[in-house]
Chain A
Amino acid sequence: MTFFDLVLRNLWSKKARSIGLAFAVAIAVMAVVTLEVTSSSLEQSAAAIISVGKADFTVAQKGAADTLASTIDVDELARLRHTPGVASAVGVLVETQRINAENPVFIEIGINPSDLRAFGVKIVAGHHYSATAEHEVMLGWTAAANLGLHVGDRFNANGTWNTVTGIYSTGNAFGDAGAMFPLPAIQGYNRVPGIVTLAFVKVTKAASITAVAARVDYDQPELTTIRTAAQFGRADQDLVYLQAAVNGSTVLAILIGAVIIGNTMLLSLFERTREFGLLRAVGWTRRRTLGLLLGESLLLALVGATLGVALSFAIAVVLENLPALKGILHPNFTEGAFWRALFTALVMTLIGSLYPTIRAALLSPLRALSYE
């Protein structure tokens, strides 16, 4: 005869209503979580690009629509290198290319062989390409394994065949799944001579990373420095918009869910009000009576959230295997997605049951008992 027994009984006695409410919560949670994990997938891929090289901080063009659209020219890179406290600044061109159905967004990095060490690249087989070679390539070790290629094999990219001179490892999963080309070659393919996408900066031993980054931000206002994933929006407006859309959708889902729940709750207001009157008449405090209603809401929210996350998992599997999205979308079920699910479910049920709850709390026992 516990309080929880009463909560369960109350929900169980109105099975259809409870199931309906849990589903309303679940659908909203599913929508929110699916959006979150797919956007988080894109965010993760994008964030992986800035950390593809070893650096104290990464520099990109300020306000670029997305990271890969960032451009830094030779002069800017030179100024960066001459900023006090900067030990090295490796400029790389990053692009993605469709190789085949399994690799629709294969990452390609243009980098000078002299910068490989500073960039954190280890050559695990063969040797690096020469600085000005036009048909040479190094493959990341996971890319080589996936494509079944070895040193000496030929790899078709950028419309030509390239000889694999070496296999490298960066310790970054994103980078290891791609390929590296001589910088001038890839600038040529893309018709952007002298342009790089990102610069990976290391500071001197004596300098403070924060201070040097601040100095760069000040000296070259057209550029921006990125040290953490949270600062990522500086270089990727798309992600900022995407996150705003996800947040907006969460609010919308919460509101729609709350309306559905509130509507259902209102239908049972009459019987419930009498019930609360009776509980108060037999000595239940206002708090305990509210607790019963909140307990029911909470349980509904938890069940709905669980169901919603499960649905979202199912949808993610479907999306991931959709031909159009295969290889692009890797739904990323982060801890944040689960918190968002819980938050959505709780706020929705709380808003939805607000009116009946407040009513129940305010009515005197007798008024509630004779409520028609």
Chain B
Amino acid sequence: MSERMAHQFAIEVKDVSRVYPGPVPALAAFDLSVEYGEMVAITGPSGCGKSTLLHLLAAIDTPTSGSVIVGGRDLASIRDLSAYRRHDVGLVFQFHNLLPQLPALSNVALPMFGTHRSARQRKARARELLAEVNLGDCEDRLPTELSGGERQRVAIARSLANEPKILLADEPTGSLDSASSTRLLELFERLTNGGTTIVMVTHDSDVAAHAHRVIEMRDGRVIVGASTRL
């Protein structure tokens, strides 16, 4: 029982700090717990550490101190972080999400290299995902032939390629029109209903309002919403 209690959160960030060269740490004594199937919106002024938090959760950055625990596993103890990045989390960057030389379909298929899927299955799955974000007819377009919003949706499709338990999205609606935003939030809702945990950074309070919980950050710390589900 106590074992289960220790693992009840999808994400636990414990006393994490991330210090870059500079006067203020990007994250300082940061604590956060997110439950399975919860959608959390993170807001706060630019430079307060939102992206840094996502990067730590995605294991493409490491904390200066403290621990990041995902699905009960401390990331610091994971040997094969590539496999973690590939299977356990999906990450949508704020910028520069796509490889410019690859068409949308190939970009979506990238995380599926090194999985059990065959070339044919990768293609089929990538098609399915593009259709899911309403880009079924953009398969062969290069990123330069897509609008900002379309590129972002391709990135979202890619982040879902290996059905991650955790979805991390940095300003996913940043360049989407309101219709696309609504559709994306519906997709997120479906995902959380299916048990996916979502941590999304957003500036848009209307978007944040769709989350189960809104966390407000400032200067690398949580001001509002650290651990209580609203």
Q: How many residues of A contact B (CB 8 A)?
A: 28
A9 within 8 A of B: yes
Residue contact A274 to B83, C-beta cutoff 8 Å: no
A267 within 8 A of B: no
Residue contact B106 to A284, C-beta cutoff 8 Å: no
Residue contact A366 to B101, C-beta cutoff 8 Å: no
B105 within 8 A of A: yes
Max chain B C-beta neighbours (<10 A), residue from A271, A277, A366, A369: A366
Chain A's nearest CB lies how many Å from the CB of B42? 18
B116 within 8 A of A: no
CB-CB nearest in chain B for A3: B113
Interface string of A9-20 (1 = CB under 8 A from B): 110111000000
Cα distance, A280 to B123, chains bound together (Å): 20
Instruction: List residues 141-184 of chain A with CB under 8 A from any CB of chain B.
Output: none
Residue contact A283 to B87, C-beta cutoff 8 Å: yes
Chain B's nearest CB lies how many Å from the CB of A119? 65
Residue contact B114 to A9, C-beta cutoff 8 Å: no
Residue contact A369 to B86, C-beta cutoff 8 Å: no
Cα distance, A40 to B217, chains bound together (Å): 75
Max chain B C-beta neighbours (<10 A), residue from A3, A6, A10, A288: A6
B contact residues around A286 at 8 Å (CB): 82
Stretch at the interface among B2-10, B54-62, B176-184, B208-216: B54-62
A279 within 8 A of B: yes
B119 within 8 A of A: yes
Residue contact B82 to A1, C-beta cutoff 8 Å: no
Residue contact B109 to A1, C-beta cutoff 8 Å: yes
CB-CB nearest in chain A for B83: A283
B contact residues around A6 at 8 Å (CB): 102, 106, 113
A2 within 8 A of B: yes
B185 within 8 A of A: no
Residue contact B91 to A282, C-beta cutoff 8 Å: yes
A285 within 8 A of B: yes
Residue contact B102 to A281, C-beta cutoff 8 Å: no
Residue contact A282 to B126, C-beta cutoff 8 Å: no
Interface string of B122-141 (1 = CB under 8 A from A): 11001000000000000000
CB-CB nearest in chain B for A277: B60
B111 within 8 A of A: yes
Residue contact A285 to B61, C-beta cutoff 8 Å: no
Residue contact A278 to B99, C-beta cutoff 8 Å: yes
CB-CB nearest in chain B for A370: B96
A contact residues around B162 at 8 Å (CB): 283
Cα distance, A271 to B102, chains bound together (Å): 14
Residue contact B60 to A281, C-beta cutoff 8 Å: yes
B14 within 8 A of A: no
Chain A's nearest CB lies how many Å from the CB of B226? 25
Task: Take A6-B102, A9-B101 as given contacts and tell me if A283 and B111 are in contact as well, using a CB distance cutoff of 8 Å.
Answer: yes
Residue contact A284 to B60, C-beta cutoff 8 Å: no
B contact residues around A96 at 8 Å (CB): none
Cα distance, A20 to B120, chains bound together (Å): 33
Instruction: List residues 39-92 of chain B with CB under 8 A from any CB of chain A.
Output: 55, 58, 60-61, 82-87, 91
A275 within 8 A of B: yes
Residue contact A284 to B114, C-beta cutoff 8 Å: yes
A contact residues around B55 at 8 Å (CB): 366
Indicate which residue in A9, A14, A277, A366 contacts B106 across the interface (CB closer than 8 Å).
A9
Residue contact B114 to A281, C-beta cutoff 8 Å: no
Cα distance, A277 to B158, chains bound together (Å): 15
Residue contact B58 to A288, C-beta cutoff 8 Å: no
Instruction: List residues 197-215 of chain A with CB under 8 A from any CB of chain B.
Output: none
Residue contact B96 to A369, C-beta cutoff 8 Å: yes
Max chain B C-beta neighbours (<10 A), residue from A1, A6, A14, A286: A1
B110 within 8 A of A: yes
A contact residues around B126 at 8 Å (CB): 1
Q: 25 interchain pairs (CB within 8 A)?
A: A1-B106, A1-B109, A1-B123, A1-B126, A3-B113, A6-B106, A271-B100, A274-B96, A278-B96, A279-B99, A280-B60, A280-B82, A281-B60, A283-B82, A283-B84, A283-B87, A284-B86, A284-B113, A285-B114, A288-B114, A366-B55, A366-B61, A369-B60, A369-B93, A369-B96
Q: Which A residues contact B (CB, under 8 angstroms)? A: 1-3, 5-6, 9-10, 12-14, 271, 274-275, 277-286, 288, 364-366, 369
